[in-house]
Structure 1
């Protein structure tokens, strides 16, 4: 971390990068964009590698979501 940043974020001692990823989706001719932000201890000099890591993370999330919805009908819960 650069000078001053450690004082602002004392619990993130290994923080090396903040990554902004903009995803674009087209559905029925309508395009939507969403920007997600990630903090990481990885160096940002290889954006292709970071993209691979982010995709792998969301692949796990999406698979778990399917299991939760199928097994526990999580999406049907309105509480």
Structure 2
């Protein structure tokens, strides 16, 4: 099943940037949230928010994965590298 990696991608207290990154490096959603609890909700880990975009990108199914440390997950690191290559184009 395809994975969508969700994690906090910077920010500061009460203004956290949360992102949903597809396996192939495409950013599927972003949101600014006040804390981690709301970040998980706002990006669709604990809610159905953003899932229309996820279903559109992965119509055959997907799994939303929350990562506290995205750089510690080799699959997410690979997706980040693919995102860099997409942005170079």
What TM-score, normalized to structure 2?
A: 0.29
Q: When you count strand as a share of all residues, which structure comes out higher?
A: 2
Larger RCO (CA within 8 A; separation ≥ 6): 2
> Looking at CA atoms only, which structure, 1 or 2, has the larger radius of gyration?
1
What TM-score, normalized to structure 1?
A: 0.31
